[in-house]
Amino acid sequence: MPASTRHHRALAVFVHCLGILAAVPALPATAPEAAAAPRPPAATPRPAATTPEATATTPPPTAGPAAAPRPVAVVTRTAEPTPPSAPPAMAPPSRAPAKPPPQQVTVAVAPESSPAPRYRIQVRNVGNAPVDTTVRQELPPGSSPTAISAGGRSTRAGTSTTEVTWRLRLPAHSTTTLGTALAATAPGRPLTAPTCAFTSDGSRPYDCATATWQAAAAPAAEVTEAPPWRRYPVLLAGLAVLLLVSAAVVWLWRRRRGRGRRLTAAALSTGDGKRGTVYPRPSAPPAARRRRTPPVWLLVGAAVAVLAGVVGTAGWTATRQVAGIDTQKQPTNGAWMGTGVSGPVGVPLRESAFEFTVYRMTCGAPDPTGGTAAPARGQRCQATVGVRNVTGEHQPWHSELQRAYLPGGRWVSTDETATRAANLGRDVFADPMAAGSRVVLPLVFTVDGRDPPRQLELRSGVFSAGVRVQMP
């Protein structure tokens, strides 16, 4: 091989190495994002279309030492993006409690300090738009209003209950104060009047509140117990003691009298010839002394007195225990949790997890929400109920545990379809209640016949003692 050819080949190899060394530092600068990002394992590289510079062969180096190295073209490969792989298997997340819808209208009720029952009602619109609302106040059974603030009217809601109704238009961020006054009642009788704000058609409640008026009666004289000499057990015990003491005194007196007689007879009957004897008698052996026992009448009298005292004390104790038994209280032992509580409409009643307040109950009204019609031989009863979770945990509750008891002892559970329609299609039992939350919602019961329910039974759980609300 000629020497010039060997020199040219060695020079070409040297220039090629210089080109590679010059191209290596420039690789991160050309694709910094590709270098920084990790290459996905599932990516399948596919060569890109080669450029004319990459396909061109390197020309032979020019002769002479002044030949400059030619940069070598770098061929880059791109990878098509692949869809992400399926996430690893994991347990489904627990169902979070649904947040109650924000209340646009709030209600607050407070009793006034007056001789006659008076209530002050504040209705507030917290929204940014005007709201048309219907405010209803349930009056206690047997009471009648004597004064109503402007715009309100009194209507008969049932056989023994009366309600006061206002139709208001509340401007945005405004507060309206209403008031009612009732006829004077007997001192010491509390009166509870719940109040609710409904939508303009009166079908769905915004908010409800309740208040109990208590008459500020004059302080009554302190009730003291009867003196001891006027209590039957004390009288019986004293009589028994008196009989026993009298019998003991008589017995002692008779015993001493008999002893004196025996001593006199013994002195007269002694015949030993000593001084002091009037009529000496022949000596005779002394008679054997017989032990004296209490007379029969004394034993019988003492037994009768003791028996009378025991019977009187037992009867008095049993009478007090029977009077202290609450016949209205439901059994709470065994598997029941908490204590069963009963009360009227408008009074908050607390059980193991929830605090229930029944504000009103209406029956026979047409369904304004467009739900299914009531049965031909029955009617729909809608109860406005406030529920508060008083625990620190999420609490589920179920429609089957909310019951309405009819006069004959029969009961029906919540009508889920009608209740969902009354709540604008929302299933209020689907999600648990958040800790410390409160909602006011309608519960619908479909009952047979025309008699309204006499009692509502509300529970938070299967083993909860629950609360019972007596209908007026």
Any long-range contacts for 138-143 (C-beta under 8 Å, 24+ apart)? 138/163, 138/193, 138/194, 138/195, 138/345, 138/346, 138/359, 138/360, 139/163, 139/164, 139/180, 139/182, 139/193, 140/182, 140/191, 140/192, 140/193, 141/472, 143/117, 143/182, 143/183, 143/185, 143/191
Residue 405 makes CB contacts below 8 A (sequence gap 6+) with 411, 453, 454, 455, 456, 457
- Predicted local confidence at residue 83, as pLDDT: 45
Q: Are 380 and 404 in contact (CB under 8 A)?
A: no
- Predicted local confidence at residue 126, as pLDDT: 92
Give 280 or 249, the one with higher predicted confidence: 249
- Predicted local confidence at residue 99, as pLDDT: 59
- Predicted local confidence at residue 88, as pLDDT: 44
pLDDT in tens, 375-385: 666 789 999 99
| Spatial separation of the C-alpha atoms in residues 45 and 215, rounded to whole Å | 89
Asked if pLDDT for residue 368 goes beyond 50, the answer is: no
Asked if pLDDT for residue 177 goes beyond 80, the answer is: yes
Query: Do the first three CATH levels of 105-213 and 341-470 match, i.e. the same topology?
Result: yes
Asked if pLDDT for residue 59 goes beyond 80, the answer is: no
Average pLDDT over residues 277-305: 65
- Predicted local confidence at residue 44, as pLDDT: 44
Residue 412 makes CB contacts below 8 A (sequence gap 6+) with 403, 404, 406, 445, 446, 447, 448
Average pLDDT over residues 145-155: 88
Q: Where do the structural domains in the chain lie, given as residue ranges?
A: 3-79, 105-213, 229-284+294-323, 341-470
Q: Which CATH number fits domain 341-470: 1.10.579.10, 2.40.160.60, 2.60.120.1270, 2.60.40.1240?
A: 2.60.40.1240
Query: What distance lies between CA 361 and its chain's CA centroid?
Result: 20
Q: Are 359 and 386 in contact (CB under 8 A)?
A: yes
Average pLDDT over residues 303-313: 78
| Spatial separation of the C-alpha atoms in residues 137 and 155, rounded to whole Å | 10
- Predicted local confidence at residue 51, as pLDDT: 40
pLDDT in tens, 60-119: 444 444 444 454 444 444 444 444 444 444 444 445 555 556 678 999 999 998 888 999
Asked if pLDDT for residue 443 goes beyond 80, the answer is: yes
- Predicted local confidence at residue 92, as pLDDT: 45
| Spatial separation of the C-alpha atoms in residues 455 and 398, rounded to whole Å | 18
Q: How confident is the model at residue 33 (pLDDT cuts 50, 70, 90)?
A: very low
Work out the percent of the chain whose per-residue pLDDT is above 90: 34
Average pLDDT over residues 424-437: 91
Radius of gyration of the chain (CA): 51
Separation in Å, CA 296 to CA 243, 257, 261? 14, 18, 22
Asked if pLDDT for residue 3 goes beyond 70, the answer is: no
| Spatial separation of the C-alpha atoms in residues 233 and 277, rounded to whole Å | 59
Q: How confident is the model at residue 175 (pLDDT cuts 50, 70, 90)?
A: very high
- Predicted local confidence at residue 268, as pLDDT: 59
**Other beta carbons less than 10 A from residue 21's beta carbon:** 10
- Predicted local confidence at residue 254, as pLDDT: 77
Asked if pLDDT for residue 260 goes beyond 80, the answer is: no
Q: How confident is the model at residue 122 (pLDDT cuts 50, 70, 90)?
A: very high
Strand order in the sheet with 205-209: 153-156, 162-170, 131-138, 195-199, 205-209
Least confident of 353-367, 426-440, 453-467: 353-367
Give 177 or 297, the one with higher predicted confidence: 177
**Average pLDDT over the chain, rounded to an integer:** 74
Separation in Å, CA 192 to CA 57, 109, 294, 452? 101, 11, 69, 21
- Predicted local confidence at residue 456, as pLDDT: 95
Residues pairing with 79 in the sheet: 45
Which class would CATH give 105-213?
mainly beta
Average pLDDT over residues 238-255: 79
Average pLDDT over residues 421-447: 92
